[in-house]
Amino acid sequence: MEKNTDKIALVTGGSRGLGRDMAIQLAQKGFDVIITYHSNQEAAARVVEEVKASGRMAVALKLDVSKSSDFDAFISKVNECLINDFGMSRIHSLVNNAGTGLYAPFVSTTEAQFDDMVNTHLKSAFFLTQKLLPLLSDGGSIVNISSGLARFSSSNYSAYAIMKAAIESLSRYQALELGSRKIRVNTVAPGAIETDFAGGFVRDNKDLNQYLASATALGRVGLPDDIGSVVAFLCSDEAKWVNAQRIEVSGGFHI
């Protein structure tokens, strides 16, 4: 285990799926962890206990990333948490992971659905990061989560996928403008993963799972720990010279 003494990572959407594994893998790298959850407090509490079982500290805070009006109150909670629970004043790493899927044809996607994608994926990564900057250490790390769908196209994902394409552009601009503080910003773009995302579509649909595996060079779909380990690496000092990069973690899908 790499020792990251007194380093704290904040992972949005850390109560399940990829976020859960990110939190656990960060703990294995020596990070203490703050996770956010949308509504499932029990699931978040289980992740906290898993992190603590590995010997690191963890706290779960409630946050709906689609509501930017709540960000100021959340920042205050993070600040209080850092002081009272960790005895610290800064986080080292931020992982903008929280999100929801949308499977809808371009011709019938509603403005309300589109706006929800903007608020959940793009506006949150822009403004939550902006508001967290005073609490982010110089020399820290930001990881924004994109999707393989920003590189290749698949029907009925237009609103979701273009948000992820925007996230990749945002990451480069953040890396450029935060470079004076030696803050690294990178993007991780997962391929198809077996989680409960989008109702467990990839995990539970056997035909789809087999098709995705057949189109992947390594012959299977992804698992959460395929992603979490890459995120933990990018937050660590092992990736100290990796900046403004898009890393697709898809096993070689559609290459």
> Which tokens go with 218?
């390594």
Q: If residue 31 lies in a helix (H) or strand (E), which one and from where to where?
A: none
Q: Is 214 a catalytic residue?
A: no
Helix (H, G, I), strand (E, B) or coil at 229: helix
Q: Is 44 exposed, middle or buried (0-12, 13-18, 19+ CB in 10 A)?
A: buried
Q: How far apart are CA 154 and CA 150, in angstroms?
A: 10
Q: How far is CA 76 from CA 10, 37, 71, 123, 252, in A?
A: 14, 16, 9, 19, 42
User: Beta partners for 91?
Assistant: 136
Q: Is 164 a catalytic residue?
A: yes
Residue tagged active-site, from 124, 137, 146, 171: 146
Residue tagged active-site, from 37, 124, 157, 160: 160
Helix (H, G, I), strand (E, B) or coil at 22: helix
Q: How far is CA 149 from CA 15, 159, 202, in A?
A: 24, 11, 14
Q: Is 160 a catalytic residue?
A: yes
Q: Is 147 a catalytic residue?
A: yes
Residue tagged active-site, from 66, 147, 229, 236: 147
Q: How many CB atoms lie within 10 A of CB 118?
A: 17
Starting at the earlier edge strand, list the strands of the sheet with 8-11: 58-62, 32-37, 8-11, 91-96, 136-145, 184-190, 246-249
Residue tagged active-site, from 7, 29, 123, 164: 164
Active site residues: 146-147, 160, 164
